[in-house]
């Protein structure tokens, strides 16, 4: 399919910014053809609009009625709680409802199922759902892409390629999306919280706080790289560092006694539950 040339991003928050900055900066196909001048951001806050215009040279407007080009790609990057109202608003606008050349919509909202969105989008529009994550801002994202009843295989492939320009992108079934949200969508926050805890514990043990943070961050990055580049399993990596009677085993035993082995299960279950609740809003 033809690469998108007129892109509207609805919602200029953290994720809208991460996507637009990544696409503008990318020199990988198909995002390599996307330039700042091709993007219009619709977002209500005037300060936010000024920031995005100044930082990325994209056009920003306060509502869909102010968009003056017919978009061929629309990224819905608002909170799930306001998504229905936002779609109702843009469905009033002729430029978003061109039956001759309907736009391809991408929803990145947690929880909201495509069946619900397809129903309310302008007639003839296509829809692909994506669960991205924040590291896509630095080209290291993990995104999952799924089809809807209103998408073609070619569109799914194109959207996966677009998000693949911002890190890794996998195509999954929509039934997997709650779990995806709980692992990679929310995951960067778990990792950041883990780095905070490790840094604070090391600082309590007497290490300079900044040194502790640098070491914790490099350790997360290095461990992921080690496992991915050698192809070893996480279990093998862990075991290779634990010598009998050594410090690592002592630490992991103490961590598991404090509930570490249950922490991620509890977190993922809570996130999946919340994702299902958001689907009902
Ligand atoms: N953050 C993540 O790591 C992450 C990961 C995966 C998926 N997501 C999904 O990404 C979506 C956006 O999340 P976010 O973290 O970027 O949230 P956010 O930072 O709060 O951004 C949402 C943006 O939408 C704007 N907005 C509110 N009402 C609007 C309207 N009627 N029309 C246009 N824009 C409107 C908000 O503007 P004001 O602030 O001025 O109200 C805000 O700038 C959510 O659906 C979330 O589930 C987020």
Give the domain ranges of the chain. 7-176, 185-279
d(CA 272, CA 9): 26
DSSP 4: P
**Residues in contact with 181: Cβ distance below 8 Å, sequence separation at least 6, in sequence order:** 110, 111, 131, 271, 272, 275
What pLDDT does 278 receive? 84
Nearest alpha carbon, ligand 1 atom 40: 45
β-sheet bridge partners, residue 165: none
Q: Report how far ligand 1's centroid is from the alpha carbon of 20 (Å).
A: 13
Q: Report how far ligand 1's centroid is from the alpha carbon of 81 (Å).
A: 10
The string of DSSP codes covering 66-122 is: G--S--SEEEE-S-HHHHHHHHHHHTT-GGG--SSSPPEEEE--SS--HHHHHHHSP
Q: How do residues 25-68 score in pLDDT, each as one tens digit?
A: 999 999 999 999 999 999 999 999 999 999 999 999 999 999 99
Exposed (0-12), middle (13-18) or buried (19+): which is 168, by Cβ within 10 Å? Answer: middle
Q: 261: pLDDT confidence band, cut at 50, 70 and 90?
A: confident
d(CA 74, CA 102): 10
Q: For domain 7-176, give the fold.
A: Rossmann fold (3.40.50)
Q: Report how far ligand 1's centroid is from the alpha carbon of 151 (Å).
A: 24
d(CA 130, CA 108): 5
CATH architecture classification, 185-279: Orthogonal Bundle (1.10)
d(CA 34, CA 25): 9
Q: Report how far ligand 1's centroid is from the alpha carbon of 183 (Å).
A: 19
Q: Is 12 in the pocket of ligand 1 (CB under 6 A)?
A: yes
Q: Is 77 in the pocket of ligand 1 (CB under 6 A)?
A: yes
Q: Is 3 in the pocket of ligand 1 (CB under 6 A)?
A: no
Q: Is 111 in the pocket of ligand 1 (CB under 6 A)?
A: no
């Amino acid at each position: 399919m033809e690469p998108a040339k007129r892109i509207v991003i609805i919602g200029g928050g953290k994720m809208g910014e991460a996507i637009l900055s990544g696409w503008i900066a990318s020199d990988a196909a198909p995002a390599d053809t996307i330039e700042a001048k091709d993007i219009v951001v619709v977002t209500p806050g005037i300060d936010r609009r000024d920031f995005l215009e100044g930082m990325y040279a994209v056009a920003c407007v306060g509502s869909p009625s102010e968009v003056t080009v017919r978009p061929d790609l629309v990224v819905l990057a608002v909170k799930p709680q306001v998504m229905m109202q936002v779609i109702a608003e843009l469905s009033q606008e002729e430029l978003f409802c061109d039956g001759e050349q309907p736009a391809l919509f991408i929803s990145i909202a947690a929880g909201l199922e495509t069946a619900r969105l397809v129903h309310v989008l302008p007639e003839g529009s296509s829809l692909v759902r994506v669960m991205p994550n924040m590291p896509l801002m630095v080209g290291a994202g993990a995104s999952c892409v799924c089809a809807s009843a209103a998408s073609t295989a070619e569109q799914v492939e194109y959207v996966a390629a677009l998000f693949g320009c911002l890190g890794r992108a996998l195509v999954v079934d929509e039934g997997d999306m709650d779990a995806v949200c709980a692992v990679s969508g929310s995951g960067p926050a778990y990792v950041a919280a883990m780095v905070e805890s490790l840094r604070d514990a090391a600082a309590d043990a007497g290490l300079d706080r900044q040194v502790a943070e640098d070491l914790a961050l490099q350790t997360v990055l290095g461990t992921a790289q080690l496992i991915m580049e050698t192809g070893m399993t996480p279990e093998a990596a862990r075991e290779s560092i634990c010598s009998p009677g050594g410090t690592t085993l002592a630490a992991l035993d103490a961590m598991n006694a404090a509930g570490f082995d249950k922490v991620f299960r509890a977190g993922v279950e809570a996130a999946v539950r919340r994702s299902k609740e958001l689907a009902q809003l």
